[in-house]
Amino acid sequence: MPPSENKTTGFSHSRLEARHLLINYDEIALKGGNRRHFESRLLKNIRAAIKDLGGSHLQPRFGRFLLRLSSETPLDKVCERLSRIPGIAVYSPCISTSADLDSVRVAMDSIIDQLLARGEQPENFAVVSRRANKELPFTSTDANATIGAHVQERTGWKVRLKKPQLSLYLFFVNNDCFLALDRLPGLGGLPTGSTGRVACLLSGGIDSPVSSARIMRRGADALFIHFHSYPHTSIASQDKVRDLAERIIPPGRSARLYMVPFADTQNRIITECPSRLRVILYRRYMVRAAEAIARKEDAQALVTGDSLGQVASQTLENLHTIDSIATMPILRPLVGMHKAEIIEDARRMGSFDTSIEPHDDCCSFLMPPKPATRSTPEQLEAAESSLDTEKEVLELVEAASIETIRGRLD
């Protein structure tokens, strides 16, 4: 779960008996006339993610969502799932009261009592108010001063407005006030399923899972395509890809995974084509087959984990040669990222440990000693002249097996 903003003293929602959560988005608020479409999709995704936990009610509230939990619904599990839903900017476990300052004082006393009972004694604090209802008879500054003075009188804690050890949040929404200790970070971006459908080429390595997760945070719904060289290599890459897809797919959602046997095509390429062009030929065939699958699935683009210059097939010249046979856009979310940044993303999303488990992927199968770092479409067309490209691609698509993968709930 992402860390809370109250980092110094370790205050967290687990120390607050919260039955409400305020869920905020950011980019959706900028969508103008299309805003309701994105809000509806995010509502649907949240409901699907927590459906099995039961006892919850979700509704829009002034540019955010309010989630009410029953007494039996586990708060920690709800928060963990919210942290993995694209479109959520921040979320706050809260207790609820009326939007008048006397009621807020009483509610704040319950929070103080919980903290003191656990021996929590911050050196300083700040009250941070947000007022969606501008018709209330006080300003945010008034609320900060009044409730801050009450907390100080009760506890003797010092007020510190910049970088306090403890932040006490007051969110005034309609005629309610929600009190929180945390603003927990979500993934941000746009809700999955709101911006179209893409086909992600997914290997068992580090890069392509991160690339796929990033494109889903831009609102794309995804299907996954994995090319394997079994039986010339082990089935480890297939097992890894299933595991990685489960981690990429948000909780409550599912996606189709195509397993494409690539060994026979590779054998023909190895036998009949120049060795230095071998990997680029592999990639061109992957693009052709992936496009055929994408068209079957009504996807509008391919997504790869390429990062410019990272390996021989990812030089600008070779990317151009690969793209020259494409008939739909190829999206590369990682193209300008440093490897260390990609690894950091992989660690954060929990895919890194799986990705670094040893396996033989299809591109490493009979890797040439000196792969070409530069090529032209004309060179590759000549190399492919002895192959029946159309037939090969048709055989790849027909031989593919299809699985349904569901996002992890825990």
Of 278, 283, 259, nearest to 397 by C-alpha is 259
Of 279, 254, 269, 271, nearest to 203 by C-alpha is 279
In sequence order, the 6+-apart residues with CB closer than 8 A to the CB of 39 are: 25, 28, 60
Residues of the chain with CATH 3.30.2130.30: 13-185
Tokens of 315: 């030089």
Tokens of 185: 């970070």
Fold of 13-185: VC0802-like (3.30.2130)
pLDDT for residue 368:
74
Strand partners, 308: none
Of 408, 409, 405, 410, nearest to 202 by C-alpha is 405
In sequence order, the 6+-apart residues with CB closer than 8 A to the CB of 22 are: 61, 64, 65, 66, 67, 91, 92, 94, 171, 173, 178, 180
pLDDT for residue 14:
47
pLDDT for residue 278:
92
pTM of the model as a whole: 0.89
pLDDT for residue 363:
59
Residues of the chain with CATH 3.40.50.620: 197-406
The structure tokens 């479109």 sit at: 87
Helical pair 35-50 and 75-82, crossing angle rounded to 10 deg: 140
pLDDT for residue 320:
97
pLDDT for residue 29:
77
**Mean pLDDT for each consecutive 10-residue tract of the chain (410 residues)?**
42 66 88 87 96 89 90 92 96 95 96 89 94 90 97 95 94 94 94 96 94 97 94 83 96 97 92 92 97 98 95 93 97 96 95 85 65 94 94 96 95
How far is residue 400 CA from its own chain's centroid?
27
DSSP 175: T
Q: Are 74 and 53 in contact (CB under 8 A)?
A: yes
Distances (CA, A) of 403 to 76, 223, 355: 31, 10, 20
Look up the CATH number of domain 197-406.
3.40.50.620
The structure tokens 């990705």 sit at: 355
- Cα(50)–Cα(80) distance, integer angstroms: 10
Q: How would DSSP label each residue in 246-279? A: HHHSPTT-EEEEEEEE-HHHHHHHHHHS-GGGHH
User: What is the Cβ-side half-sphere exposure of residue 63, based on CA atoms within 13 angstroms?
Assistant: 15
Buried b or exposed e, range 235-254, using 16+ CB within 10 angstroms: ebbbebbbbbbbbbbbbbbe
